[in-house]
C-alpha cells in the first residue's frame, strides 16, 4: 500500500494555547499516511478541529487522572529520565484507548500540516516488492520533481541510510529531517538499471486536499483527502460554481480527518444551516452547526469506506441523518472521542479522552462507524454514479 509519507504525522494545532478541546479520531498508520486534526477554539469560543492517530478498536475508554499524569512525568524528569516516556507508559496503563503523548517537534509539524502545508521534498513513497521502497507520487514544482525524480523510482537510501526494511514512519522521519526549509537531504535512487544520488533542499510546500473534476456525464466529482485549512471553502465554492442541475459525487474515501470547522463549512455547501453534530465534554453537551444558504436541491451521493474517519465521519453522519445525501461504499472507521490536551512538564502534550460525539440523529460513531445506505465494494464509484443518475444528477 502506498503512503503519502511526508504527510504521515499530521496532528492538531493550537493545543498549547489554553484549554482547547480536541475531537480526536484515529487512522491506521501501519503502511499508509493518515491525515487528521483536533478541535481548537475559534473566535466564537466553539472547539473546531480533529486529529488522527494510529490505532485499532480496543475496549472502552477510562478516565485519566491528569494530576497523577503530571506527577509521573515530573518524577521521571527529576530522576533524569524521559518525562514523555513516563507519560506514555502512564496513559497506556490508564485504559484510555485513544490517549497519546506527543513531543514539541511533532507539534511544530502539526502546526504546518493543519494550515495545508508541510516541509519536505515533495514525494510520496510506499512498499513495492517485499521490503523495497518506491516513489508513488511526485508533487508538481517540488524539490523532488526539480531533481528529476518520478513515480516508480526506487528509493534506495536517504542521507546514506538504506531504507529497505524500514517502516514507513522511519522513512518519513528521514525525509523530513529537522523540518527546516532549506535543509539538505541526499537521496539515492534507482530507475531500471540506472542509479544516481541527488542532493535536495527541503522546502515548505502546499498540500491540495481537494480535487474537483467534471465527468463525461456532467457529474461534479469532489474528492476531499483531508479537512485541512481551506478545504471546506474549496468544497463550498465548487458546489456554488457547478452548473444548475449537475449532480455531485462527494468522495470521502480514505479521508482520515481534519479540522471540524472545515467539515462544517463543507456541510454548509449542502445544508441550509442546522445541526452537524453534538458532543459532550465531561458531561456538558455542545454542538457544531452548518451555515445557512447551502444548495439543498442538487443531487448528492457520498462515497465512504473504512478509511473515512474523524471529521469526514462527522460530515457523512450529518448528510446521511438529515436526508441530504445517499451514502455508498462500506462502513466507516468509527472514531469519535473528544479529548482534552494537557501540557506536561517537559513541554510535550498528552491527549486524554473526556467524551464522545454523535450524529444529528443521536447515533454514536466511536467504535461503530457509519453504515452506508448502499453497500458497495470495488465498484463503489460505478454504483454511486448509477445512484446519482437515478436522483437526476447524471446521464
Annotated catalytic residues are 310, 335
Nearest to 205 by CA among 385, 6, 72, 44: 6
d(CA 240, CA 242): 6
Residue recorded with cell 497523577:
68
d(CA 325, CA 81): 53
Give, in order, the Cα–Cα distances in Å from 217 to each of 54, 86, 393: 39, 57, 9
Residue recorded with cell 529537522:
178
Task: State phi, psi for 198 to the nearest 5 degrees.
Answer: -125, 140
Give, in order, the Cα–Cα distances in Å from 221 to each of 10, 157, 217, 242: 25, 38, 11, 11
Residue recorded with cell 541510510:
161
- The CA radius of gyration of the chain, in Å to the nearest whole number, is 21
Beta-bridged to residue 285, according to DSSP, are 280
Task: State phi, psi for 311 to the nearest 5 degrees.
Answer: -60, -25
Residue recorded with cell 442546522:
274
Are 342 and 24 in contact by the 8 Å Cβ rule? The answer is: no
d(CA 156, CA 135): 10
Q: What angle do CA 130, 135, 139 make, to 5 degrees?
A: 160
Beta-bridged to residue 194, according to DSSP, are 191
Q: Helices (H) and strands (E) in the chain — how many of each?
A: 9, 22
DSSP 204: E
Cβ burial, residue 190 (10 Å; 0-12/13-18/19+)? middle
Amino acid at each position: 500500500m502506498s503512503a503519502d509519507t511526508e504527510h504521515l504525522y499530521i496532528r492538531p494545532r493550537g493545543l498549547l494555547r489554553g484549554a482547547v478541546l480536541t475531537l480526536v479520531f484515529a487512522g491506521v498508520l501501519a503502511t499508509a499516511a493518515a491525515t487528521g486534526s483536533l478541535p481548537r477554539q475559534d473566535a466564537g469560543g466553539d472547539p473546531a478541529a480533529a486529529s488522527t492517530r494510529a490505532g485499532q478498536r480496543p475496549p472502552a475508554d477510562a478516565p485519566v487522572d491528569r494530576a497523577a499524569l503530571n506527577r509521573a512525568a515530573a518524577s521521571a524528569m527529576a530522576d533524569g529520565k524521559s518525562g514523555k516516556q513516563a507519560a506514555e507508559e502512564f496513559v497506556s496503563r490508564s485504559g484510555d484507548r485513544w490517549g497519546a503523548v506527543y513531543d514539541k517537534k511533532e507539534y511544530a509539524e502539526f502546526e504546518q500540516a493543519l494550515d495545508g502545508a508541510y516541509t519536505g521534498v515533495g514525494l510520496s513513497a510506499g512498499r513495492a516488492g517485499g521490503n523495497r521502497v518506491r516513489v508513488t507520487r511526485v508533487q508538481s514544482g517540488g524539490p523532488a520533481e526539480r531533481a528529476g525524480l518520478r513515480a516508480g523510482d526506487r528509493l534506495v537510501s536517504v542521507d546514506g541510510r538504506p531504507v529497505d526494511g524500514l517502516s514507513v514512519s522511519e522513512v518519513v522521519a528521514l525525509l523530513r529531517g529537522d523540518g527546516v526549509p532549506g535543509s539538505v537531504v541526499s537521496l539515492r535512487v534507482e530507475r531500471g538499471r540506472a542509479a544516481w544520488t541527488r542532493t535536495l533542499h527541503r522546502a515548505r510546500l502546499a498540500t491540495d486536499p481537494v480535487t474537483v473534476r467534471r465527468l463525461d456525464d456532467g457529474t461534479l466529482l469532489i474528492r476531499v483527502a483531508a479537512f485541512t485549512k481551506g478545504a471546506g471553502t474549496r468544497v463550498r465554492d465548487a458546489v456554488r460554481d457547478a452548473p444548475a442541475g449537475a449532480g455531485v459525487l462527494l468522495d470521502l474515501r480514505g479521508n482520515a480527518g481534519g479540522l471540524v470547522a472545515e467539515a462544517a463549512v463543507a456541510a454548509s455547501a449542502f445544508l441550509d444551516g442546522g445541526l452537524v453534530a453534538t458532543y459532550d465534554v465531561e458531561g456538558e453537551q455542545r454542538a457544531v452547526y452548518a451555515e445557512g444558504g447551502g444548495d439543498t436541491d442538487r443531487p448528492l451521493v457520498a462515497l465512504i469506506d473504512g478509511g473515512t474517519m474523524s471529521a469526514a465521519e462527522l460530515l457523512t453522519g450529518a448528510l446521511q441523518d438529515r436526508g441530504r445525501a445517499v451514502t455508498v461504499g462500506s462502513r466507516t472507521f468509527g472514531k469519535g472521542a473528544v479529548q482534552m490536551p494537557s501540557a506536561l512538564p517537559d513541554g510535550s502534550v498528552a491527549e486524554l479522552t473526556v467524551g464522545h460525539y454523535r450524529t444529528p440523529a443521536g447515533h454514536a460513531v466511536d467504535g461503530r462507524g457509519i453504515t452506508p445506505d448502499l453497500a458497495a465494494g470495488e465498484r463503489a464509484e460505478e454504483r454511486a454514479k448509477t445512484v446519482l443518475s437515478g436522483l437526476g444528477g447524471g446521464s
